[in-house]
Amino acid sequence: MTLRRYLPPVFDLLAGLLAIVLVLAICIGWHAGEDFRAIFALTGAAFFLAGFARGPEVPGRGVTKTLRLSAGGLLGIAAIVLNNGLHLYPILIALFLSGWIASAAGLACRAHLSANPLRAAALALLCALGFAAGSLAVVPRLVAFSTFERPKSSPSFTLTVDGQPVPSSQLRGRVVVLAYWATWCAECRRELPSIESLAGQFRSNPQVAIYAVDLGWGSETAEKGHQFLARRYPGLSMAFDPGPAAEALGVDAIPAVVVLGKDARPRFIHRGFDRSENLEQELARRIDALLQEQ
């Protein structure tokens, strides 16, 4: 008798774990993990189904049941933290809340299914529309907010451009964008088209300089970078950094974009890549703002 009492909570937890494992499996198998809109939508669908499967809610215990179901979302949050770090905390909060809301909606939908099927269908439709709207309108803004940060220091550094050392002091007078990448970095290759498009947007402006900075980690060499850009993105100017400049600027993973003001001080660092974010538009807006500074 005692064992049967504890089985429903255990099944709730297992349903939530199954939901997040399903989300993670789809993200890995279909590369949906590169787009937080897809992760958000998948999370909503998976936890709605978990709630529906474990419903109807027990009278007076709906909140605790929902919390048990959504607890599995902590596993997904842990996976994102391990892969990206803690700087995406707004996304992490939104994902956990989405799991909680979707679980509650699934429980409520199951509760109304027998007595009022139309209400159950309306709840399911409302949940679907809400997650679709959130994925399209809210998630890109959260990603943009999460992936930009202000550097804590203003170091001096040196890059290599066309075989010649260029100290940061020579970059004064222009807004400079340093897009760190490497030929072995898959996410970097997916980000480079946005950087090339941004370079084309400001090519006629002498106050803006944009460099694709090939980072010499691992087996990366300047020759590999030049060959790759010449073949795929000839519109990009390349710089090479064996590593010291990246360390000074706080670049600990790629892709990363460092934006310098006209005083050659780092103003923004953008970390990671996500398809939901309009990186070109956001960088252009920040460049325009820096150009207005005296």
Between the ranges 2-6, 77-81, 102-106, where is the mean pLDDT highest? 102-106
**Does the domain spanning 158-291 belong to CATH 3.30.1360.20?**
no
Is 223 a residue whose pLDDT tops 80? yes
Query: Is the torsion defined by CA of 101, 104, 108, 113 positive or negative?
Result: positive
pLDDT bucket at 25, cuts 50 / 70 / 90 = confident
Q: For residue 156, report the phi and psi dihedrals to the nearest 5 degrees.
A: -90, 145
Q: Which of 30-34, 128-132, 133-137, 280-284 has the lowest mean pLDDT?
A: 30-34
Is 1 a residue whose pLDDT tops 60? no
pLDDT bucket at 32, cuts 50 / 70 / 90 = low
pLDDT at res. 154: 84
Between the ranges 9-13, 77-81, 178-182, 273-277, where is the mean pLDDT highest? 178-182
Q: Which of 30-34, 53-57, 178-182 has the lowest mean pLDDT?
A: 30-34
For the chain, give the mean pLDDT. Answer: 89
pLDDT bucket at 57, cuts 50 / 70 / 90 = low
8-state DSSP, 87 = G
Give the total residue count for the chain. Answer: 294
- Residue 73 half-sphere exposure, CB side, CA atoms within 13 Å? 30
Q: Which of 7-11, 147-151, 170-174 has the lowest mean pLDDT?
A: 7-11
Is 3 a residue whose pLDDT tops 70? no
**DSSP secondary structure string, 27-57?**
HHHS-GGG-HHHHHHHHHHHHHHHHHHH-SP
